[in-house]
Structure 1
Amino acid sequence: MLLHYLKTLSNYGEIITGSKNETKLVKEIRKILEDNSDEIRLIPIRVLNWEQKELIFECESKLIDAISLPYSLSTEIEADVVDNFKDCNGRNLIKVRIQNLYEINKLYIEAVENNCLGIIFSLDNEKRKFMIKYGDLLSHKPSYPPPIPAFYVKENDFPYIKGKCRISLKTDLNPFATGYIVEAIRNSRNENKIIHITAHHDHWFIGERDNLLAVALLRQFRSNIYETHLISFTAEESGSFNFSTFSWSHGSREFLKNYKNVDDILLNINMDNISEESLVLKTVPGLLELSRKYFKNVVESPEIYSDGYSYIKAGIPSITIESLGNIHYHGEYDIIETDKPNVFSNVTTILDTINKIINENIEYKTHEMRDQLKNNLWELPAELKSYLVNVKDILDKNYTEVYRKIVKLYGGILAFNQPYSKVELFHKIKGLNIARKNDVCIEDLGCIKRLRNDEIYNRFYLYYINELKELITTEYINQLYFILKKFF
């Protein structure tokens, strides 16, 4: 039955949030979940819908099978192609071979800053999509519309991207579209504590691993202890309006922003990107003992690139289960064949793990967070450490309210010499420590770049970092003060 549900969902093709296709798919998801749920809701949210309508791409009179990357705007370009950013000069296109899709953001910004007319990426012989963005990365605030278009071509076509190219691109962008979240509720005897099991249904191309398999799995979970909400989110891949550079997981953020009482949510378990590769479980301290009871490969850090992170930022402990890789990530061949036994072996593991966890008497092990804070002290300013000593004492007494407020203090850091963002407690302080040696983007603080590299500039650059660190330290101290004041 699982394979039947999966193929039924994938028959709707690519699902871009806010599209007509999404409306059709949501009805199908509702049908799959409602036959054994006590209540089902469709929750509309505002999203940004982007779609490519028409693209003509030719170089030296040869038509190229290219695609544009979201959110590229409509454009008409006739220009030569170069392979060095410094040669753009406001009149050329740049082409770049990449090793990883996560390189796209940094290279796109470099193309804009070098005054290129557009940028063309290639990775391999599979069409792939990835969001482009311009501005301070990891920002939830409004940002610039992408100032130049970006394109992707297969590796076989990359040699033909040369000489003079003509591009005619028409895209449609609607910042007031509507996406839909599906929420199915299964009642239980403990209605004061709720568990959310989540996946997302918007996807590029066919999207069976990322993330329709997880959506098809939702109906398989039931707790005899906790009220269980099975949720399929819109706007995980795209949809964040105002061109925010934190472009993913918009649907889950909006859902939790409008949730009446997040304190009732005991736990989130999120599934994303389930492939043939080995599984990993990522979570926060407080859930490590519980997770390791049923699963071997547990990582003591949240996953930033998924909906579970929205729960973390709302102070709700979260577990994300995903595969360590997907060779067809965001690609046109993300289709699960029936002869891929490892996929269904992973499915069995996920079903067994999640159903055991949600039928367990769940208690946060707050001493795990105490130990995490202890391990973080050496990187933090002295005045912040004194407050954390009191926080550690309270965590020893198992105050879950304080524990959940500390969970909110996780945040993202993207060092420019690293491909991926990482998640850390007191991330702004740690990001500023990285900024002493490397350019870095810090969630909701901004990107910090060394603009010169000489003795005089470096002295005052470090002065700037130290002043900024003092401000951020005060910000954290104020947050800890309000956490602690009811106890003293």
Structure 2
Amino acid sequence: MLLERLKALSKYDEIITGSSAEIKIVREIKKILEEKSDEIRTTPIRVLNWEQKDLLFECESKIIDALALPYSLSIDIEANIINNFQECNERSFIKIKIENLYEINKLYIKAVESKCAGIIFSLDNEKRKFVIKYGDLINYKPSYPPPIPAIYVRENDFINVKGKCRLLLKTDINPFATGYIIEGIKNSKDENKVIHITAHHDHWFKGERDNLLAVALMPELYSNLYETHLITFTAEESGSVYFSTFSWSHGSREFLRNYNKDIHNIIMNINLDNISEEDIIIKALPGLSAFSKKYFSNIVTTPEIYSDGYSYVKRGIPSITIESLGNTHYHGEYDIIDKGDNKALINANIIINSINRMINENIEYKLEEMQEQLKEDMKSLPVKLKSYLVNTIDLLEKNSIEMYRNILSFYGGVLSLDKPYAKVELFHKIRGLDEAKNSKDTVCIEDLGCIRKLRNDEIYSRYYSYYINELKEIIVTEYIDKLYLLLKKLL
């Protein structure tokens, strides 16, 4: 039944948010959820829709099978192929073999700053997609449209990318498209205790592991204790308007920003993403770690920034993300589960059984976990902040759920461009500034911007430290003001 449901969803092929194909899969999801729901809601939101309409990539009279990376703009250009950034100019494409899709952000920005005319990526013999962006990374604000095209070719074709090449690319971008969020609601006796179980239905290529398997298993989930909302989001992979460099999870952010009921009634979010053959991992907040360990063995007490669960964390809603340790076909054309791929389906059934046990017992936060996290963080935080955190810990000791939920909004992302992934930490702006002070590379800080040391000589380093310290003072004051208002309200 699970496999049949999965194939009924994936028959619509690639679903880009805001596309006509999304309307088709939305109908299918509603049909699937209606079987087990008391109510179905559809929430339309504004999204940015990007689609490749036509592409011709030809090198030395040889046509090469390629695809454009979103959000590349239309262009018709001839350029020479080069292999290093020092040779870049407005008539050259740089070609780069990457080891990880998450390298694309850093390399794309470097290509733009080196004045390349475009950039060509390859990873392996599977076509893959990844949103390109330019500007301060992990930023929610409007950003620049990507100024140069980025294309991807399979590894076997990469050797043919040489000499003079022509790229004729036509793409269509609609920043006023509509995406759809589907919500199946199962009622309970107490409508003031709500659980949101979430996944996303937009995907690249077939997208069966990322993320249609998660959507397919949702009708199997039920609770006798909590009003359960089974929600599939649009605009997780792309769709953030204004070319925001925080290009993912736009749908869940908008959904929660416009949530018209008491958000404090949401006891917990369980987010499902990227379920494959590899071992299951749970990314749980402090406060939900011990609870999660009752049902799963592999627990990490750090939020996952690259998924919809993070939108819940930022709104002060306790969340766990359930996913696999990896996906060989991540964002790739072969993300297809065959009948013989038993491990992915076995993992899906383990998740179904574990979640059903989880949501049919009384969910209690272990606030001492957050207390311990804050005590550990205090060791390296500025002295001015510590006294406020002592009072915060005292409130958690008195089981203040409101303080616990408010502390979650202090989480944020830090991305150093010498590393592929952003990390999530409490008081992330301070952490990010500490990292930027000592880093030789650019460090991007959520809600703050990107910081880079422009020179390495002694004089510049002295005043760069002064700049970081002054900025840090402002951030510390910002955190203190926020904590002061919370403590004044709750003490």
Shorter-chain TM-score range: over 0.9
Give the equivalent residue in structure 2 for 1:267: 268
Q: 1:452 aligns with which of 455, 459, 473?
A: 455
Tell me how far 1:89 sits from its aligned partner.
Answer: 2.3
Give the equivalent residue in structure 2 for 1:301: 302
Amino acid at match of 2:41: R
Q: Using the alignment, how far apart are the partners of 2:248 and 2:180 within structure 1?
A: 15
Contact 2:277 / 2:344 at 8 angstroms: preserved in 1? yes
Give the equivalent residue in structure 1 for 2:77: 77
Q: Using the alignment, how far apart are the partners of 1:208 and 1:249 within structure 2?
A: 18
Q: Structure 2 matches for 1:62-73, cutoff 5 A?
A: 62-73=62-73
Contact 1:269 / 1:308 at 8 angstroms: preserved in 2? yes
Tell me how far 1:444 sits from its aligned partner.
Answer: 1.2
Give the equivalent residue in structure 2 for 1:151: 151
Tell me how far 1:189 sits from its aligned partner.
Answer: 1.3
SS at match of 1:276: coil
| In the alignment, structure 1 residue 471 sits paired with structure 2 residue 474 | yes
| In the alignment, structure 1 residue 480 sits paired with structure 2 residue 471 | no
Contact 1:68 / 1:149 at 8 angstroms: preserved in 2? yes
Instruction: Please list every run of 5 or more consecutive structure 1 residues that lacks an aligned counterpart in the other structure.
Output: none
Q: Using the alignment, how far apart are the partners of 1:441 and 1:60 within structure 2?
A: 40
Q: Structure 2 matches for 1:46-61, cutoff 5 A?
A: 46-61=46-61
Q: Using the alignment, how far apart are the partners of 1:486 and 1:78 within structure 2?
A: 63
Give the equivalent residue in structure 2 for 1:202: 202
SS at match of 1:359: coil
Q: Using the alignment, how far apart are the partners of 1:197 and 1:487 within structure 2?
A: 30
Q: Using the alignment, how far apart are the partners of 1:311 and 1:413 within structure 2?
A: 18
Amino acid at match of 1:129: K
Tell me how far 1:437 sits from its aligned partner.
Answer: 1.5
Tell me how far 1:349 sits from its aligned partner.
Answer: 1.4
Question: Higher mean Cα deviation, 412-421 or 119-128?
Answer: 412-421
Q: Structure 2 matches for 1:128-143, cutoff 5 A?
A: 128-143=128-143
Q: Structure 2 matches for 1:82-121, cutoff 5 A?
A: 82-121=82-121
Q: TM-score, normalised by structure 1?
A: 0.99
Q: Structure 2 matches for 1:311-460, cutoff 5 A?
A: 311-438=312-439, 439-460=442-463
Instruction: Please list every run of 5 or more consecutive structure 2 residues that lacks an aligned counterpart in the other structure.
Output: none
Q: Structure 2 matches for 1:287-298, cutoff 5 A?
A: 287-298=288-299
Contact 2:139 / 2:449 at 8 angstroms: preserved in 1? yes
Amino acid at match of 2:94: I
Q: TM-score, normalised by structure 2?
A: 0.99
Amino acid at match of 1:23: I
| In the alignment, structure 1 residue 191 sits paired with structure 2 residue 191 | yes
| Deviations 1:304-339 (CA, angstroms, capped at 9, x unpaired) | 000000000010000100000100000000000111
Tell me how far 1:348 sits from its aligned partner.
Answer: 1.9
Q: Using the alignment, how far apart are the partners of 1:430 and 1:305 within structure 2?
A: 19
Amino acid at match of 1:234: T
| Deviations 1:362-401 (CA, angstroms, capped at 9, x unpaired) | 1111111111000101221000011000000000000100
Amino acid at match of 2:362: N
Amino acid at match of 1:34: E
SS at match of 2:193: strand
SS at match of 2:181: strand
| Deviations 1:423-459 (CA, angstroms, capped at 9, x unpaired) | 0000000011111121311101111111111011100
Amino acid at match of 1:2: L
Tell me how far 1:341 sits from its aligned partner.
Answer: 1.8
| In the alignment, structure 1 residue 179 sits paired with structure 2 residue 182 | no
Amino acid at match of 1:295: F
SS at match of 2:86: helix
Amino acid at match of 2:460: Y
| Deviations 1:261-310 (CA, angstroms, capped at 9, x unpaired) | 21111100000000000110001011111101111101000000000000
Q: Using the alignment, how far apart are the partners of 2:143 and 2:361 within structure 1?
A: 43
Contact 1:316 / 1:407 at 8 angstroms: preserved in 2? yes
| Deviations 1:388-428 (CA, angstroms, capped at 9, x unpaired) | 00000000000100000001110001112211111000000
Contact 1:206 / 1:332 at 8 angstroms: preserved in 2? yes
| In the alignment, structure 1 residue 282 sits paired with structure 2 residue 283 | yes
Q: Using the alignment, how far apart are the partners of 1:147 and 1:52 within structure 2?
A: 16
Amino acid at match of 1:338: K
SS at match of 1:16: coil
SS at match of 1:436: helix
Contact 1:181 / 1:232 at 8 angstroms: preserved in 2? yes
Tell me how far 1:487 sits from its aligned partner.
Answer: 3.4
Q: Using the alignment, how far apart are the partners of 1:486 and 1:164 within structure 2?
A: 66
Q: Using the alignment, how far apart are the partners of 1:54 and 1:420 within structure 2?
A: 32
Give the equivalent residue in structure 1 for 2:241: 241
Contact 2:136 / 2:449 at 8 angstroms: preserved in 1? yes
SS at match of 2:424: strand
Amino acid at match of 1:407: L
Amino acid at match of 2:346: S
Amino acid at match of 1:397: K
Q: Using the alignment, how far apart are the partners of 1:71 and 1:262 within structure 2?
A: 33
Amino acid at match of 1:388: L
Tell me how far 1:197 sits from its aligned partner.
Answer: 0.2
Contact 1:379 / 1:430 at 8 angstroms: preserved in 2? no
Q: Using the alignment, how far apart are the partners of 1:344 and 1:232 within structure 2?
A: 19
CA RMSD of aligned residues (A): 0.7
| Deviations 1:142-201 (CA, angstroms, capped at 9, x unpaired) | 000000000000000001111000010000000000000000000011211100000000
Q: Using the alignment, how far apart are the partners of 1:268 and 1:196 within structure 2?
A: 5
Contact 2:78 / 2:91 at 8 angstroms: preserved in 1? no
Amino acid at match of 2:13: G
Instruction: Give the 4+ runs in structure 1 shifted more than 3 A.
Output: none
| Deviations 1:34-82 (CA, angstroms, capped at 9, x unpaired) | 0221000111000000000000100001000000000000001101010
SS at match of 2:355: helix
Amino acid at match of 1:306: S
Percent of pairs with identical residues: 68
Q: Using the alignment, how far apart are the partners of 1:283 and 1:420 within structure 2?
A: 18
Q: Using the alignment, how far apart are the partners of 1:221 and 1:65 within structure 2?
A: 42
SS at match of 2:132: coil
SS at match of 1:17: coil
